[in-house]
Structure 1
Amino acid sequence: MDRVPILKVGDVLLVSIQTDLQDRTALALQEDLAERIVRTGARGVVIDITAVEIVDSFIGRMFAGIAAMSRLLDARTVVVGMRPAVAITLVELGLSLGGVQTALDLETGLRLLGADSLEEGPPEVRDRR
């Protein structure tokens, strides 16, 4: 079974999904990520889905589950690089990624997570809601 690599960048974990996820790989990612958040004390998680072209209801629920699990472990989640077709599919399936911030690219996603560590206020990031 393939594993999705999880990289540590400061106090953020970076998950870069390079292929469409199979169900078993997604389940392994959820377990691996929970373990890494606890072990490293990460304050944020960035999930880069730029390479993901197709999602189904299971994978959509897994993204929501990963975000909920991260929140319980005191880490914020930002999903970056979502393609329009993926966003449309999630909406058509009735799946919302509640509690998950989104950003168009990795740089903006990391900046969103960096806002907590700045004492002078959040960085200049436009609200895309």
Structure 2
Amino acid sequence: MEIPILKLKNILLTSIQSDMNDDDALKYQSDVMSTLEKSGAKGLIIDITAMDIMDSFMARVINETARMARLMGARVVLCGMQPMVALTLVEMGRELIGVDTALNLDKGFDKLIKMINEGVD
């Protein structure tokens, strides 16, 4: 399964629209990192609005993707987390370290632009 990665000015936008198996998740991670390197984007938005469930492996992949993007100099915002996904992450004891969050894509985009413009770490 191919997850689209769109470039809007200096920001990459990815939207995970369906459940992924482990191989798909790792390919997604690789594709995001490759696109980030080639584009020189300063920000990454990971939209998970369509995800109803998240297992521990997917949580780890998203967290690692965000951390890798940060190491490459990009700011990261995860947006659109459903309440049940948040509950599941808390119950699993999973934290998304180094990932800023936003309620929806619109707020995520605004937050990321502000972070980039202000040089917020």
Q: Shorter-normalised TM-score: what interval? A: over 0.9
Q: What amino acid is aligned across from residue 108 of structure 1 in structure 2?
A: K
Structure whose alpha-carbon radius of gyration is higher: 1
Residues in 1 aligned to 2:68 and 2:28: alpha-carbon distance in whole angstroms: 12
Equivalent residues in 2 for 1:61-76 (5 A)?
Answer: 61-76=60-75
1: CA distance, partners of 2:107 / 2:43: 13
Give the match for residue 77 of structure 1. Answer: 76
TM-score, length-scaled by structure 2: 0.94
Between 1 and 2, higher relative CO (CA 8 Å, sep ≥ 6) is seen in 2
2:47 aligned with 1:42, yes or no?
no
Give the equivalent residue in structure 1 for 2:99: 100
| Paired residues, number | 120
What do the CA deviations read for 1:26-60 (whole angstroms, capped 9, x no partner)?
10011001001110001110011000011111001
Larger displacement relative to structure 2 (109-118 or 51-60): 109-118
Gaps of 5+ in 1: 123-129
Q: Displacement of 1:116 after TM fit?
A: 3.9
**SS of equivalent residue, structure 2 residue 76:** strand
Identical aligned residues as a percent: 47
User: What TM-score results when the alignment is normalised by the length of structure 1?
Assistant: 0.88
**Equivalent-residue separation in structure 2 for 1:83 and 1:16 (angstroms):** 14
Runs (5+) with no aligned partner, structure 2: none
Aligned AA (2:34): E
- Aligned CA-pair RMSD: 1.5
Structure number having the greater helix percentage: 2
